[in-house]
């Protein structure tokens, strides 16, 4: 049986002060990014990435890290137990 499940990953992002809206807009342009929400708390943005392969995940995450104004990220890979 072929496993066709997507790799779902969430990235918590801390932004430079006053840059959150611009960063959120830029993140929406990255392949694999499915959702971008601004949040309150320690982090400013949560991003959902859904991709088919680890290579695609690496590419999306690398592009996220290059967005100007991002201070720190925390990445959470989601999985389900069969």
pLDDT tens, residue by residue, 25-67? 999 999 999 999 999 999 999 999 999 999 999 999 999 999 9
d(CA 8, CA 64): 15
SS3 of 82, please? coil
pLDDT band at 3 (very low <50, low <70, confident <90, very high): low
Does residue 2 carry a pLDDT above 50? Answer: no
SS3 of 63, please? helix
DSSP type of residue 70: E
d(CA 79, CA 9): 9
> What architecture is the 7-77 domain classified under in CATH?
2-Layer Sandwich (3.30)
Tokens read off for 72: 């720190």
Does residue 82 carry a pLDDT above 70? Answer: no
Choose between 42 and 81: higher pLDDT. Answer: 42
So what's the pLDDT on residue 30? 98
């Amino acid at each position: 049986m072929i496993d066709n499940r997507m790799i779902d990953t969430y990235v918590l992002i801390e932004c430079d002060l006053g840059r959150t809206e611009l960063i959120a807009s830029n993140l929406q342009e990255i392949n694999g990014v499915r959702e971008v929400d601004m949040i309150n708390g320690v982090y400013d943005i949560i991003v959902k990435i859904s991709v088919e392969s680890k290579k695609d995940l690496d590419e999306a995450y690398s592009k996220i890290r290059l967005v100007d104004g991002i201070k720190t990220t925390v990445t959470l890979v989601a999985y389900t137990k069969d």
